[in-house]
Each structure stands twice: as structure tokens, then as C-alpha cells.
Structure 1
Amino acid sequence: MLNPELLKCFVTAAETGSFSQTARVLGKRQSTVSGNIAKLEDDLGFLLFDRTGRYPQLTKQGMALYDSGKLIVDSQARFIANAKGLIAGVPVSFTLAIAEILPTNLLTTLFEKLSAKAPYIQLQCLRLPAQQIIEAVSNNTVQLGFIPSIEGNSDSYEFISAANIPFRLLCGDKHPFTKKKRISNDDLAHSSQVLFHSHKETYLADLAKMATHVWYCQGYELALEAVRSNTAWGFFPYLKQNIEGVSFFTPDFMQSSPVIPHDLIWPKHQVKSHIHQFIEDVFIQEISKLSAP
């Protein structure tokens, strides 16, 4: 069986084009690097480098083996890093769920930081109606969920207040509302409104419903497309994102944008790993930035 240390010297020398540079990269003596490569060549029965010039050059055999050798070296590095993470308590997998009414830009920084913190964790990220997230958390199939605050439902999960998210009124950029200087309650009542399907049987629908004719759409993107069609208006969470094809408007009755509190929830009695705490901290930090006035 080939020695991984010999392969590492070979691959690094092929990439640097220098045995001395390889020694510096790997923190070894140059004589050790040269010896390791020579030993590998002996094991294989052919030369990997042509040493006749000032710098070693890959032979045809060396070029043929480089890609597969690098794959082995990289796989070993991933194995070691993954094993160290598991020893340090990084969970094998983690499932995060956010309410379907929310835009995905709130996850961008979290993904970047989590990838740097735990690059080999198996992350599963779901977008579900809030009630389904509660059920999944209660069944221990979701480790952390982000949902609108729901009072009287915390017997099956732990929670922490995470953010107060402003909701703003949107219509398409060619909707009749864009030509009006003032928009009354009657205007809203007699124009089609978009509501999130997951709010249909909750208090949030009662808070938001103003029109006699309502479209129920499942998920943020579908609801937004209904608004972009210039046939309906709606309340949408606003997290400092650029939204093309829409216009914001403020009706006469509204003095300020409504704000809906949101919680992070996790299963009762779940022991928080340091990765869980890291995700929670980053999430709260980023959502606070995006939802700040």
C-alpha cells in the first residue's frame, strides 16, 4: 500500500515545481522530501520527475498519476479534518428550518460562516410553514427553527426571541396603486390581496387580511410573483433586500410599518452543541442587522 506521506510530497512537488519549496510548504527538510519522492518512485518502479534541469519536471508517468494522487491526498486531509471535528463535538449533521414566508437572503452570511467553522457538517436547510416547523422540532427532526412567535405553543420546544421583523406593503411596479397619491382602506379592500398560505388558519391572516378578494400563495417567492404580476398587493417581510419589479406603498391609515416578532425554537431537553450555539448566535446577529430600521 502506498504511503500517504510519500504521495503528499509528490503532489506538493508537482504543484510547486520545486523540492525546496515543497519542504517549506510541508515543514520538512529538503532531504526528507527528496528521499520520500525517491522512495515512492522505487515502490512504483518508474520516475515521477525528470531531474536533469534546474527544477524537477513531471514525467509522463508523473503527469498521469498527479490527478489521482491529489484526490487521495485531499481525501486524507478531509478525513483528518472531519475526524478532528467529530472529536471536538461537531455534530455529524444539523437540520435548520425557516418559515416559508421569509426571504433567503437572511441565510447567506450564516452559510458562509458555518462553512468556515464546520466545513464537513451535513447541513439540511428547510423552508416550511411555521406549524410544520413546530411539529418537526417537537419530533426532534429539526434541531433549530425560525418562526413567527406563537404564544401558548411552547410546551413542546424551547425558544428565544430572535428578531422583530418589519412587514411592508408591496404592489407591482405597474399596479394601479403606483399612480395614486393616496391609498385608502377602501382601495385596499377592493383590490386583490396576496396572503401566505401558511397564515390561512392563524392569527397572522386576521392581522393582515384587508381585501375581500384574497390569493393564498405558498412561500415567499410564489407570493412575490403574484405581486409582480400587478394584479394583487400584499404584506411582505422586509429584510433590506433589493426587490425588483415592485413598489412599496403606505396607505392613509398606516403610521408605521407593522412589526412581527420571530423566535428561534429547538426541541425540549436538547443539549446544545457548540455548533448549535454558533448557528444561533450568527443567525440572531445577522437577522438583527437585516431587520434594523
Structure 2
Amino acid sequence: MLDTVTLDQLRVFITAADEGSFSAAARKLRRVQSAVSQAIGNLEAQLGVALWDRSTKLPTLTAEGRSMLTAARRVVGEADSLRKLAAGMVTGLEASVSLCVDALFPVCALVDLCRGLASAFPSVDLRVDTQPTSLVAARVLSGAATLGVVGATGIPPGLERQVLSPIRMIPVVSVEHPLARHEGRIPASRFAEHVQVVLAAPEQGDEHSVLSFRTFCVADLATKHALVRAGLGWGNLPEHVVQADVRSKRLARIQPEPWGEGEHVFHLSAIYRPDAAFGPVHRWILAELAKLCPRDAGLPHRPREAKSRRRNHRPR
């Protein structure tokens, strides 16, 4: 008998429950009350369950009716999602997106991107993967990710690039660390006696920037940040990661003499394969990345047009 239950019957049942009476449901659905009563009566007959207690002046849901109401909402919700997904596919809406971002990507921007995507495209599945710089492009090239966000040195030949925002890496140390008491530029010789915290998989600002003889190698940015804050060493970290600690005087900026001002500024870029045929979801993500990255990366930046390694190419 369940095969004969229709979505319309379930919608009428849900509306009657939400509105509190058959007459109110009829007004909401713009039907005569007898049509609503008949639809619900047929549903009860097909399910073999009394959904409404009609012994009182105003029918009320039975215990079984309340349980069925939950199931009915779930069925109708899934059906609505299926309809939206099919409609999206007809208009070119992608079913899923896989995004791989550099470990240095601003977390606030990533959270807002995911929140906006869930609101704008509720039927689209999203997979987010955070990887070291050296692995982001590999995932895009292999097709494991449809979009990547990475620093300029992590972009090999064969990928398209859209510049998003500059990232400034700044050398910092705990205010309790001896290096914090040094005024002005610090000679390279002073770093020999102190530990430098670096990422085990070299990221932007770490690869050619080891000044200390002793290093603590860590696997992720959060651990590096925590060790530097704990005073266990000094390190080069993204400005957007440490700016709150600098303002609160938990961390202090230092000036290594071997490094020039602005030496460790690089650009985050969105990357994708040249054969990518982007629909509305991917185009929306690219536009949002161009807005969110400059907002959270710590440097003023005006979004620019997509740059391509092939002339006149744009994601479709």
C-alpha cells in the first residue's frame, strides 16, 4: 500500500499539522476542506494507521501521527532536494566541488566560503582538503581536487592561475624570548644560539629562510604557531595568523638582518586544470575567493582578472 502514497498526500498531512486544523490547511493550500479531509483519510487508509484523533471537536495528532509526521517531513525534504538537484543539473549546476587549499590559507575566509556555499547551493556537496604547498597542485593535476589555492612557488606548468591576494610572512617570537629584547635589526650570528621553528614540508617563507643551527620541524602551521607562542623558538608566520598575538603583546615582531623588508610576501592563487569546464558553483567560488582572501590575508589588495597561461582562456 505504501507504493500508492503520494507526495501530495504527505504535503497535505504536513500542512494540516503545521496549521493546526484541516480548515486552516485548506486555506493555506487554496483547496476546499473536503479535499484536504479526503487526502488525509486516503493517506491513513493506505498506511493503515490513524494519524488524527477525531473524537474531539478539533482533530489532534495521535502518537502514531506525530511519528509519521517526522518521517513525512524527511521524505518530502528528500524529494525537494532531488528536484532541486535535477533542476540544477539541467542548468549546468555541479553536483559536487572538491577544494584543496594551502595550509597558509586564512581559516576565516575558508569558513565564510563554506557558509556562503551552503546557503547559495544547498544541494551541492563540498569536500575541503588542507595540504602543504607542495601537495596542493598535485591534487589538482591528478583530478582529486577541482580547485586549489596555493602560493606562487607551488604552481607547476600546466595549470591555470587566478591571483587572489598577497600574504605577508613575518618573523615573530614570544615576548618572553631573549630575541624579543633585541632592538633593531638582529645579526645572523645571534640566531645561531636560538631554536627556529620550521615546517617539515617547506612552505612559503621556510624553504630558504633557516637562519638557526637548531630547528624544531613540525608538520602543520597550527603547531608551529603554538610552539612559537610558548617561547620554544622563533619562526616566520603569516601576518593574518599572528596579528592578534602581536596586538595583545603575546608575540613580538623581530627583524633578522639577512632578510629585507617585504622579502617574504607572496601571492595566493586559485589554480585549476586547463581542461576544466566550470559551471555556476565553481565560478561562484572563484569570485568569493577573490573577495575573501584579501579581506583576511592581512594586506590590502584589489581583485584582478584571472591570469591564464593560455591566451584568452577563461573557465567556462
Tell me if TM exceeds 0.5: yes
1:184 is matched with: 186
1:237 aligns with 2:215: no
**1:199-239 Cα shifts (integer Å, max 9, x gaps):** 17x88521x32222222221211212221331111111122
Q: Which runs of 5+ in 2 are unaligned?
A: 301-316
Q: Tell me the CA shift for residue 277 of structure 1.
A: 1.0
Distance 1:71 1:211 in 2: 60
Alpha-carbon RMSD across the aligned residues, in angstroms, is 2.8
Using a 3 Å threshold, how does the CA distance of structure 1 residues 225 and 252 change in structure 2: closer, same or farther?
Answer: closer
Distance 1:289 1:194 in 2: 27
Contact 2:173 2:254 in 1 (8 A): no
Distance 2:149 2:105 in 1: 9
Q: Tell me the CA shift for residue 86 of structure 1.
A: 2.2
1:270 aligns with 2:276: yes
1:110 aligns with one of 88, 109, 113? 113
Distance 1:184 1:54 in 2: 86
Contact 2:198 2:206 in 1 (8 A): no
TM-score by length of 2: 0.80
3-state DSSP class of the match of 1:199? Answer: coil
Contact 1:161 1:262 in 2 (8 A): yes
Aligned runs of 1:186-265 on 2, under 5 Å? 186-199=189-202, 204-206=206-208, 208-239=209-240, 242=244, 246-251=250-255, 253=257, 255=261, 258-265=264-271
Distance 1:251 1:170 in 2: 9
Q: Tell me the CA shift for residue 250 of structure 1.
A: 3.4
Aligned runs of 1:12-31 on 2, under 5 Å? 12-23=15-26, 27-31=29-33
Using a 3 Å threshold, how does the CA distance of structure 1 residues 68 and 30 change in structure 2: closer, same or farther?
Answer: same
Question: What amino acid maps onto 1:102 in structure 2?
Answer: F
Contact 1:102 1:237 in 2 (8 A): no
Q: Tell me the CA shift for residue 182 of structure 1.
A: 5.1
2:138 is matched with: 135
* Equivalent pairs, count: 289
Using a 3 Å threshold, how does the CA distance of structure 1 residues 246 and 156 change in structure 2: closer, same or farther?
Answer: farther
Q: Name whichever of 259-268 and 44-53 sits farther off.
A: 44-53
**1:78-126 Cα shifts (integer Å, max 9, x gaps):** 2222222222222222111111233422201100111012212221111
Distance 1:113 1:23 in 2: 36
2:163 is matched with: 161
Distance 1:252 1:134 in 2: 31
1:71 aligns with 2:71: no
2:292 is matched with: 286
Contact 1:100 1:218 in 2 (8 A): no
2:151 is matched with: 148
Q: Tell me the CA shift for residue 274 of structure 1.
A: 1.6
2:53 is matched with: 50
Using a 3 Å threshold, how does the CA distance of structure 1 residues 191 and 20 change in structure 2: closer, same or farther?
Answer: farther
Contact 1:101 1:196 in 2 (8 A): no
Q: Which runs of 5+ in 1 are unaligned?
A: none
Using a 3 Å threshold, how does the CA distance of structure 1 residues 117 and 23 change in structure 2: closer, same or farther?
Answer: farther
Q: Tell me the CA shift for residue 7 of structure 1.
A: 1.0
Distance 1:287 1:54 in 2: 61
Contact 1:196 1:218 in 2 (8 A): yes
Q: Tell me the CA shift for residue 163 of structure 1.
A: 0.8
**1:15-68 Cα shifts (integer Å, max 9, x gaps):** 33233443465x432534333223323434554223455643112331232222
Q: Name whichever of 105-114 and 78-87 sits farther off.
A: 78-87
Distance 1:288 1:59 in 2: 56
3-state DSSP class of the match of 2:157? Answer: helix
Distance 2:85 2:223 in 1: 38
3-state DSSP class of the match of 1:114? Answer: helix
1:125 aligns with 2:166: no
Distance 1:265 1:232 in 2: 34
